[in-house]
A and B are shown apart, each in its own frame.
Chain A
Amino acid sequence: MEHLDKLENKSVHILREAYAQFKNLGMLWSIGKDSTVLLWLTRKAFFGHVPFPLIHIDTAYKIPEMIEHRDRLAMEWNLDMIYGQNKEALRLKQTFPDGNATRLECCRNLKTLALENTLNGRWPRFRLNHATGKYEVDQNTEPFTGIIVGVRADEEGSRSKERYFSPRDRNNDWNIEEQPPEFWNQYKTDFAPGTHVRIHPLLDWTELDIWEYIERENIPIVSLYLDQGDGTRYRSLGCWPCTKPVKSNAKTVHDIVEELRTGKFSTIAERDGRDQDKEDGGGLEALRRDGYM
């Protein structure tokens, strides 16, 4: 079987396991390339359907094209779209761009805390009403017990140690030392009340695999990934104050694939343009133990 086919089939299998075993299942969609591939794989797994909600943590500092892209695909693909936000931190301006927080504190406020409280249902969730095209406060506040996340093992150190099904305790914490074994395509689908499981169908994919798959399947992606004529593009998408575009003339997905395979990015790490990683001593471990994606 071809490399991409192998990856695709394994991911589809994992998605179906998750759907069969978790009643309150949701998928994090950051609008980036990885979680968009994940969304596409979901449509593969369920024959064109997406049978669980997609959750976006909106930090309010996302590049505007990302939100437009999100809502356009949500309507087009009939997605059950939910977003969550740390309204309080934004109101009190406890953010890095406002000068009141370090980059890491800002990530914690706008991403980690927003994620935790959106997943457990303690903060309001905003759900897309397909009839009006507007977001409304969701009446359902049940906690999610299974969360599908598009992390890849090749991104950085701590992600390379993840399980496909990875438990999070009551405090949303990840205990790396105590991870249970995982083998023979059997996964952790049983969990104690109050805990939840993160599901990682993309663990074995590399950045190059992602782009080759986007090219092969012709998956729609945000135009920010492509050079629009000024000789720059985003290689990794995040909040605009902390994510810098890279110099590149890649104007098509095919150009990106070539650039990664043999060109200028074949030896430069993907998250090089993310400033918060550097503050954390070269890894996201501190953030991730607390529940960051």
Chain B
Amino acid sequence: MSNQERDEDMNVAIVGHVDHGKSTIIGRLLADTNSLPEGKLERVKETCRRNSKPFEYSFLLDALKDEQAQGITIDAARVFFKTPKRKYIIIDTPGHIEFLKNVVTGASRAEAALLVIDAHEGIQENSKRYCYMLSMLGIKQIAVLINKMDLEDYSQSRFEQIKTDYAEFLAKLEMKPTAYIPISGKEGDNVATISNKMPWYQGYTVLDQLDLFLNQKDPEDQDFRMPVQDVYKFTRDGDNRRIVAGTIISGRISVGDEVLFYPSNKKSTIKTIEGFNTPPRNTVSAGYAVGVTITDHLYLKRGEMMIRADQAKPEVTSRIKANIFWLGRNPFVMGKNYMLKIGTQKIDMELEKIETVIDASSLDYQQKEQVNRNEVAEVVLKLKSPIVFDLPHINILTSRFVIVDDYEIWGGGIITEALSDEKKAYRDKLMLRNYKWERSMIDVDDRAEHYNQRSCLILITGEKAVGKKAFAKTLEKHLFLEGKHTYYLGIGSVLYGLGSDIKLSEKNNHEEHMRRLAEVANILLDSGVILIVTATMITQEDLELIRSTLVMPERLIPIWYGGKIATNIQVAYQIYNDGDLDGAIDKAKRILQNKGIIFKP
């Protein structure tokens, strides 16, 4: 066996309207190529005999009892089979519109598709709808199988008519199938062997066509993109490597390459490419799940995108235009919180606007207030924080996202435009700061280990004159006496010092004061201390500005002190001023313990 034969593989989806005969075609393909495990065919035939039911090729696939009862495929089933050319996984998908979610699941794993149309019934709604989904999923190689030709007396004119009508529809989607093949799954015509009943057909069989599909090349030649999946340090097992792990989506990277982490824009250089039971490598490319170490002690976490400093930069924004499809039972609506996942980023988001809803079978445009199940739409999405992506003509793989509603992925989409958001100027400033930041030889983890504490910013806010300062100073003293490295900073110390050049009274200077406070806090967090800040009547906007300025935003712990919350701020912790200062200090310390800032005694 040559290497060629052993190495190639391909996933091919088979899609089509309900009852157009997908499972029969696969069953026939398996039987006629002797690809069935011995046990399977015998057992299915035996079940048929016992239930006095005539054997059908589709039973081979519809192995689930439910399905045999209803005679339809419920979920996408995988069928393994091989030709001398390559190994295939044929993904059988359901034809019923109820299960479009399963068609998407199945087809998204494929490089090519077989689209089945019943010659007798002709083109149906789902024949069109599914092809639209294939185009959204990015599947370019499609063979159209015109099935059940036996029911149409193997008529050439019937075949040509369907072919012409369907090509017209596909042209609107800018799709061109690789082939149109007249077949009969039931009789086996043109499935694995060429049929003598259609001498007018000069093309390939389904089996030949499978082997003619081309394997997609891994996008090695595109710009390097790797979403950071995690940063590993298995110190407890005596391993001091700090490994940045992820799967390379596109491009390649070598030891010595300068890299950036987006959106923070921190820079470093690849020191090593790590592996387990694998020969050492100096270069890795698209498709590999890798781990690298870098030369600098950067604070990194899941969600950032590693890119190469010498290549084009991805887009960064918190407002996008996108084409989406929606599969949820509940409609996609405005004014509701969803989650968007792209690469390893996971961000809260809202639907800002529906530009238009598209009927996937008629291609008609409609104005609607919501996107219903199985509909396709052009929308504007507003994200809680910026995401990193590429536009589809640059890199389709980094332009796709999914939408989570009520714990489940119910939507998918492709970003078509990066819209401007009001935070762009500020974000650019921070990216430059991070890029220019001078790094010492000691990182945040080293300091945490040395001081036996994690740094954090405890932001104590509340109404005027409720005892915030007394509480903050007492907390500082308690922590100090326990050997913690801590520092109290009243906002006034910043306002009249670092902020003395901008007048307090002018309203539009408020943001700048907050920014300066956040920059000071950012430095102190990097130094490893537990920073306690008091400031009156902090709003949600203030909080978000501070958070976006910090390199370690999750280290911000806002606490509302005193009475009832009197601004729009959203905080997880509230401490009441009820005269029991010791109790309040204990509560604050418990918060720090639960957050892993200090350790339980």
Closest B-chain residue to A165, C-beta based? Answer: B409
Interface-lining segment among B273-281, B422-430, B504-512, B576-584: B273-281
A143 CB, min distance to chain B CBs, angstroms: 17
CB proximity to A under 8 Å, residues B31-84: 34, 36-40, 43-44, 47, 63-66, 74-80
Set A20, A158, A181: member contacting B64, Cβ < 8 A: A158
Partner of A9, one of B65, B237, B287: B287
If the complex has contacts A46-B232, A161-B64, A183-B104, are A3 and B6 also in contact, measured as CB distance less than 8 A?
A: yes
- From B137, B218, B229, B408, A180 is in contact (CB under 8 Å) with B408
A153 on the interface (CB 8 Å rule)? yes
Interface-central residue, B339, B404, B407, by most chain A CB under 10 Å? B407
Contact B37 A269 (CB under 8 A): yes
Q: Which of A47-55, A92-100, A221-229 sits within the interface?
A: A47-55
CA distance A29 to B277 in the complex (A): 21
Q: What is the CA–CA distance of A12 and B276 in the complex, to the nearest angstrom?
A: 12
- In whole angstroms, what is the CA distance A283 to B36 when docked? 16
A290 beta carbon closer than 8 Å to chain B: no
**Residue contact B87 to A180, C-beta cutoff 8 Å:** no
Rounded to whole angstroms, the CA-CA distance of A2 and B7 in the bound complex is 5
CA distance A241 to B105 in the complex (A): 39
In the assembled complex, which residues on chain A have CB atoms less than 8 Å from the CB atom of B109? 183
CB of B104 within 8 A of CB of A17, answer no
Report the nearest A residue to B291, measured CB to CB: A47
B302 touches which one: A20, A43, A46 (CB < 8 A)? A20
Interface presence of A182 (CB below 8 A): yes
Which residues from A are CB-within-8-Å of B77? 157, 160-161
Q: How far is the CB of B88 from chain A (nearest CB, A)?
A: 11
Q: Chain A residues near B6: list those with CB within 8 A.
A: 3
Q: Tell me which residues across on chain A come within 8 A of B287, comparing CB atoms.
A: 1, 5-6, 9
Give the Cβ gap from A193 to chain B, nearest Cβ, in Å: 10
Q: Does A285 interact with chain B (Cβ within 8 Å)? A: yes
Dominant secondary structure at the B interface = mixed
Task: Write out the residue numbers on chain B whose beta carbons fall within 8 Å of the beta carbon of A5.
Answer: 287-288
Please measure, in the bound complex, the distance between the C-alpha atom of A284 and the C-alpha atom of B243, giving whole angstroms. Answer: 41
Answer whether residue B412 sits at the interface, using C-beta atoms and an 8 A cutoff: yes
Contact string against B for A residues 31-75, beta-carbon threshold 8 Å, 1 for contact and 0 otherwise: 000000000000111111101000000000000000000000000
Q: Scoring A residues 143 to 161 as 1 if CB is less than 8 Å from chain B, else 0, what string do you get?
A: 0000000000110111011
The chain B residue sitting closest to A219, CB to CB, is B277
Q: Does B591 sit at the interface, judged by CB under 8 A? A: no
Q: Does B598 contact A (CB under 8 A)?
A: no
User: What is the minimal beta-carbon distance from B226 to any residue of chain A, in angstroms?
Assistant: 11
Q: CB distance B237 to A49 under 8 Å? A: yes
Question: Given the complex, which residues of B lie within 8 Å of A157, measured CB to CB?
Answer: 63-64, 77
Bound complex: CA A49 to CA B245 (Å): 14
Pick from B38, B108, B246, B288: contact of A184, CB below 8 A.
B108
Interface string of A1-36 (1 = CB under 8 A from B): 111011011101100110110000000000000000
> Quick one: closest B residue to A46, CB to CB?
B232
A281 in contact with B65 given A182-B409, A269-B37 (CB within 8 Å): yes
A20 CA to B288 CA, complexed, in Å: 18
B289, A192: Cβ atoms closer than 8 Å: no
Q: Known contacts A16-B245, A183-B108, A267-B38; is A47 also within 8 Å of B274 by CB?
A: yes
Q: Mark A259-291, 1 if CB is under 8 A from B, else 0.
A: 001000001110010000000011101000000
Q: Are B234 and A190 in contact (CB under 8 A)?
A: no
Contact B43 A47 (CB under 8 A): no
Query: Contact between A48 and B276 (Cβ–Cβ < 8 Å)?
Result: yes
A14 to B330 Cα, complex, angstroms: 28
Measured in the bound complex, the distance between the Cα atoms of B401 and A20 in whole Å is 19
Task: Report the separation of the CA atoms of residues A2 and B218 in the bound assembly, to the nearest whole angstrom.
Answer: 11
Interface membership of A206, Cβ < 8 A: yes
Task: Check if A176 sits within 8 Å of B47, measured CB to CB.
Answer: no
Instruction: Determine if A142 is an interface residue (Cβ-Cβ < 8 Å).
Output: no
A3-B9, A17-B229 as given contacts; A285 in contact with B241, CB under 8 Å: no
Judged by DSSP, the binding face of A is loop
Interface residues of A in 172-189 (CB under 8 A from B): 176-177, 179-188
List residues 1-19 of chain B with CB under 8 A from any CB of chain A.
Answer: 1, 6-9
User: Whole-angstrom distance between the alpha carbons of A46 and B230 in the complex?
Assistant: 10
B574 lies within 8 A of chain A by Cβ:
no
- Return the contact of A282 from the options B47, B234, B243 (Cβ within 8 A): B47
Instruction: Decide if B24 is an interface residue (CB 8 Å cutoff).
Output: no
Q: With contacts A183-B402, A283-B64 known, is A154 near B78, CB below 8 A?
A: yes
Cα of A45 to Cα of B232 in the assembled complex, Å: 10
Query: Bound state CA distance, A153 and B102, in angstroms?
Result: 16
- Give the CA-CA distance A203 to B75 in the complex, in Å: 15
Cβ B37 vs Cβ A180 within 8 A: no
> Does residue A105 face the partner (Cβ distance < 8 Å to B)?
no
Q: At the interface, yes or no: A135 with Cβ under 8 Å from chain B?
A: no
B298 at the interface (CB under 8 A from A): no
Chain B residue nearest to A180 in the complex (CB): B408
* Contact status of A181 and B105, CB under 8 A, knowing A49-B234, A157-B64, A176-B66: yes
The winner among B39, B79, B232, B401 for most chain A CB atoms within 10 A is: B39
In the bound assembly, the distance between CA atoms of A44 and B39 in angstroms comes to: 35
A206 touching B80 in the complex, CB below 8 Å, given contacts A158-B63, A179-B75: yes
Shortest Cβ distance from residue B8 to the other chain A in the assembled complex, whole angstroms: 7
Q: Are A47 and B276 in contact (CB under 8 A)?
A: yes
CB contact list, B202-231 vs A, under 8 A: 218, 229-230
Q: Does B319 contact A (CB under 8 A)?
A: no
CB distance from B427 to the nearest CB of A (A): 25
* A186 pairs with B341, CB closer than 8 A: yes
A179 and B409 within 8 A (CB): no
Q: How far is the CA of A282 from the CA of B41 in the complex (A)?
A: 11
Complex alpha-carbon distance, A48 and B402, angstroms: 32
Contact present for A281 and B47 (CB under 8 Å): yes
Do A153 and B75 have beta carbons less than 8 Å apart? no
Say yes or no for A255: interface residue by CB 8 A criterion. no
**Alpha-carbon separation in the docked complex, A46 to B241 (Å):** 11
Besides A181-B104, A283-B64, 18 other A-B contacts (C-beta < 8 A): A5-B287, A6-B9, A6-B287, A16-B245, A19-B230, A20-B230, A44-B278, A46-B276, A154-B78, A160-B79, A161-B75, A182-B105, A190-B339, A190-B407, A203-B78, A204-B89, A206-B80, A269-B37
5 CB-based A-B contacts, threshold 8 Å? A44-B275, A47-B291, A161-B75, A180-B101, A267-B38
Q: Which residues of B contact A (CB under 8 A)?
A: 1, 6-9, 34, 36-40, 43-44, 47, 63-66, 74-80, 87, 89, 101-102, 104-105, 108-109, 137, 218, 229-230, 232, 234, 237, 239, 241, 243, 245-247, 274-278, 287-289, 291, 302, 327, 339, 341, 344, 400-402, 404, 407-410, 412
Closest CB pairs A-B (n = 9): A157-B63, A183-B108, A269-B39, A12-B289, A181-B101, A269-B37, A180-B408, A161-B75, A186-B402
